[in-house]
Amino acid sequence: MNSRRVFLQNVAMASMAIPFTNFKLYEEKTLRVAICGLGSYGTRVAEAIQSCSRVKLTGVISGTPSKIKKWQEKYNIPDKNCYSYENLDKIKDNPDIDAVYVITPNALHHVQVIRVAKAGKHAICEKPMAVNAKEGQEMVDACKQANVKLLVGYRMHFEPNTLEVIRMRNKGDFGKVLFFQGLCGFKIGDPSQWRLNKQLAGGGSLMDIGIYAINGARYMTGEDPIWVTAQESKTDHVKFKEGVDETIQFQFSFPSGATASCLSTYAMNNLDRFFLNGEKGFAEMQPSTNYGPIKGRTNKGELDKPHTIHQAVQMDEMAAIIFDNKQAVVPVNGEEAVKDLKIIDAIYEAVRTGNKVSLKL
């Protein structure tokens, strides 16, 4: 009887232990996010969050009451989690919100991110993070002082084919990197939109689409540039007023001796291509930065990583960065964004002066 009892106890204990082999040692925390700015890209992010495993949309911040009402109905957001731009500081007292994703016109990022930080919430900011490096650094400093994280919406830093090219470069499949080309552009429409307003956008095509080539040159080569030259072309002085660039070509040199040639434009379609050339091979991506699917090939064959919803992957990864201190393969922190802003400042200076401008990032 005793042996039978012991046998049954052992079987019971074993059967109880089986399900726990699939359990994690801790429960993953869910990042509860409020979106600040309910425009087209804010809408895209909100939709992507619905397929996230670690992120939940719990609040909204907008200057348009009718938008707030529609979002409340669609995403079941209670009144207590809805804010205007005037009272967003009150999120400080809201335990339902861990982070705020700022998706407003570029010139508003600076003040809004600082307000979010002072309210004690983590800040996620769309790129470009600010209209110049000075403002960007002030945002980084404010978040550090408040002991909150500042992350930037570099969705391509999590895109599978992009990461595969970076992996291959790091492995040495392309040999010594020699050259990068980044072509980014489209024909912009409505001339009254905020992207063509210097006070709201901080510039023109460079701030909106050119930043992809700037950031891409850095993560594709694995280096930061040491100088830049740049030239501007403008054919429509009505749509592209003073301080709003239509087309800018810019060139980099890197510490290794590699070079880059890039184009940013609001005047041409079908420009979304990255090309990386090395002594032993190459990588070509087209499209390289749009919402996908990203396509490309290397000297070893086609890139075939699965298509993902960029914003969903980005948000889940950011939850891991915030809660688990996960390190992204390519950083998405505020310091990374300040480097891009320093380069943007230098490109505009090179256009203005016609000189080669040195960079210290």
User: Where are the domains positioned within the chain?
Assistant: 31-155, 156-306+331-358
- Say how far apart CA 191 and CA 204 lie, in whole Å: 12
**Could you report the per-residue pLDDT of 16-32, keeping only the tens digit for each?**
444 444 444 557 899 99
pLDDT of res. 27: 73
Q: Residue 202 — pLDDT band, cuts 50, 70, 90?
A: very high
User: What percent of the chain has pLDDT above 90?
Assistant: 92
Give the residue-averaged pLDDT of 319-324.
98
* pLDDT higher than threshold 90 for residue 245: yes
- Say how far apart CA 225 and CA 219 lie, in whole Å: 11
pLDDT of res. 26: 55
Give the residue-averaged pLDDT of 187-204.
97
* pLDDT higher than threshold 80 for residue 314: yes
Mean pLDDT of the chain: 94
| CA neighbor of 346 nearest in space, from 206, 242, 244 | 206
Given CATH 3.40.1440.60, say whether it is the number of domain 156-306+331-358: no
* pLDDT higher than threshold 70 for residue 349: yes
249 Cβ contact partners less than 8 Å away, ≥ 6 residues apart:
230, 231, 233, 261, 262, 263, 264
Give the residue-averaged pLDDT of 268-287.
98
pLDDT of res. 12: 46
In CATH, which of 3.40.50.720, 3.40.630.30, 3.30.70.260, 3.40.50.620 is domain 31-155? 3.40.50.720
* pLDDT higher than threshold 80 for residue 6: no
| CA neighbor of 213 nearest in space, from 273, 285, 158 | 273
- Say how far apart CA 59 and CA 64 lie, in whole Å: 14
pLDDT of res. 108: 98
Q: Which residues are catalytic?
A: 127, 212
| SS (HEC) of the chain | CHHHHHHHHHHHHHHHHHHHHHCCCCCCCCEEEEEECCCHHHHHHHHHHCCCCCEEEEEEECCCHHHHHHHHHHHCCCHHHEECCCCHHHHHHCCCCCEEEECCCHHHHHHHHHHHHHCCCEEEECCCCCCCHHHHHHHHHHHHHHCCCEEECCHHHHCHHHHHHHHHHHHCCCCCEEEEEEEEECCCCCCCCHHHCHHHHCCCHHHHHHHHHHHHHHHHHCCCCCEEEEEEECCCCCCCCCCCCCEEEEEEECCCCCEEEEEEECCCCCEEEEEEEECCCEEEECCCCCCCCCCEEECCEECCCCCCCHHHHHHHHHHHHHHHCCCCCCCCEHHHHHHHHHHHHHHHHHHHHCCCEECCC
Query: Cα–chain-centroid distance for residue 317?
Result: 11
Is pLDDT larger for residue 88 or for residue 10? 88
**Could you report the per-residue pLDDT of 92-133, keeping only the tens digit for each?**
999 999 999 999 999 999 999 999 999 999 999 999 999 999
Q: In whole angstroms, how far apart are CA 5 and each of 11, 12, 13, 14, 17?
A: 10, 11, 12, 14, 18
What's phi and psi for 254, nearest 5 deg?
A: -115, 160
Residue 125 near residue 97 (C-beta atoms within 8 A)? no
The pTM of this model reads 0.92
**Could you report the per-residue pLDDT of 38-58, keeping only the tens digit for each?**
999 999 999 999 999 999 999
